Structure formats: structure tokens, C-alpha cells
């Protein structure tokens, strides 16, 4: 069966194509599948080259279940004590403890410092309650310098 495609032209040049909705839905599905395949290949390449990081099932499961504060999960995953992480980001141990227990809300700046120290994304360490306080911290380099973290290329 031939798909009926209508070409719309302006000044003799094709500008749009009209396809049946079923064909359109199939094309979108194929594109999404191709994007998933490309993402999987990119991630596999990153992991093989040492650029990517994999996480144990138990850790991911705890993050997904949201039974504990993500900051605590990441801190423990990175084998850091409250005191060690607090020193890395320039706050007190009790300040971090209050955040992990849901008694305090971190600033966007502190969330960025924590994400850099824990080597994760900012979105990984905040909860829905703290999401509203997140500000845009585009310049990660200044945060990295504050923490004394050099890039691989800074050798």
C-alpha cells in the first residue's frame, strides 16, 4: 500500500508535507526508538572509555523509592561522613544533618556546591521541597575553584 503524501509548495518550492496520522505516529515512534539506541550507544561508549559512571542497583533503587533524602544517599554512596562533606562545601555538620532530615532547605548555591563535591547533577541532591529554591548556577567553574577541584585538563 502506497502512503499518500501531499507536498505543499510556496513559489514552486516544497515547504511542508502532509502525511496520514497513522504514518506520522509510526515515524515519530521510529525516531524515538532511534534516539534511544543512539543514547544507549553513547552511554556504552562513555562507560567503556571510563568517562561514564555506573551505579549499583541497590543505590539506584533507594534513590527511586525516595524513602531517604537524596543528599544522604549520595553522601553515603561516596563514602563521606557528614563532617567530611560539610568541610568540603564550607558548612557545619549540623547544617547538613538538618538538610538530610528535612528540617532545613539548602540554597541553590549550596546545592551546586554539594553536587560538585558529590560528583552528581544538582537535580540529584534536591527534593521537591527544595526544588523551588534552586537558582541557576551556570558557572560551575567558580564552584569547582571554591572546592579546590581541578579539571582533568588542568594538569
C-alpha cell at 91: 558548612
C-alpha cell at 117: 563535591
What is the pLDDT, as a whole number, of residue 136?
Answer: 46
What is the pLDDT, as a whole number, of residue 137?
Answer: 47
For the domain made up of 57-148, give the CATH fold.
434 Repressor (Amino-terminal Domain) (1.10.260)
Which residues lie closer than 8 Å to 42 by C-beta, 6 or more apart? none
What is the pLDDT, as a whole number, of residue 132?
Answer: 54
Domain locations in the chain as residue ranges: 6-49, 57-148
Which residues lie closer than 8 Å to 96 by C-beta, 6 or more apart? 71, 75, 82, 85, 86
What is the pLDDT, as a whole number, of residue 152?
Answer: 41
Q: Which of 89, 85, 65, 67 is nearest to 77 (CA)?
A: 85
What is the pLDDT, as a whole number, of residue 134?
Answer: 52
CA gap 155, 142 in Å, rounded = 18
What is the pLDDT, as a whole number, of residue 66?
Answer: 87
pLDDT tens digits for range 75-104: 999 999 999 999 999 999 999 999 999 888
Low-confidence ranges of the chain (pLDDT < 50): 135-141, 143-155
Amino acid at each position: 500500500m502506497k502512503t499518500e503524501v501531499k507536498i505543499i509548495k510556496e513559489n514552486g518550492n516544497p515547504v511542508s508535507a502532509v502525511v496520514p496520522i497513522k504514518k506520522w505516529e509510526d515515524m515519530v515512534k521510529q525516531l524515538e526508538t532511534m534516539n534511544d539506541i543512539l543514547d544507549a550507544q553513547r552511554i556504552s561508549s562513555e562507560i567503556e572509555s571510563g568517562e561514564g559512571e555506573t551505579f549499583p542497583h541497590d543505590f539506584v533503587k533507594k534513590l527511586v523509592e525516595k524513602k531517604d533524602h537524596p543528599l544522604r544517599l549520595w553522601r553515603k554512596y561516596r563514602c563521606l561522613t557528614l563532617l567530611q562533606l560539610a568541610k568540603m562545601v564550607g558548612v557545619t555538620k549540623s547544617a547538613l544533618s538538618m538538610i538530610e532530615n528535612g528540617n532545613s532547605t539548602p540554597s541553590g548555591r549550596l546545592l551546586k556546591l554539594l553536587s560538585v563535591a558529590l560528583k552528581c547533577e544538582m537535580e540529584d541532591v534536591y527534593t521537591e521541597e527544595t526544588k523551588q529554591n534552586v537558582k541557576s548556577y551556570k558557572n560551575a567553574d567558580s564552584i569547582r575553584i571554591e572546592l579546590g577541584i581541578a579539571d582533568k585538563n588542568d594538569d
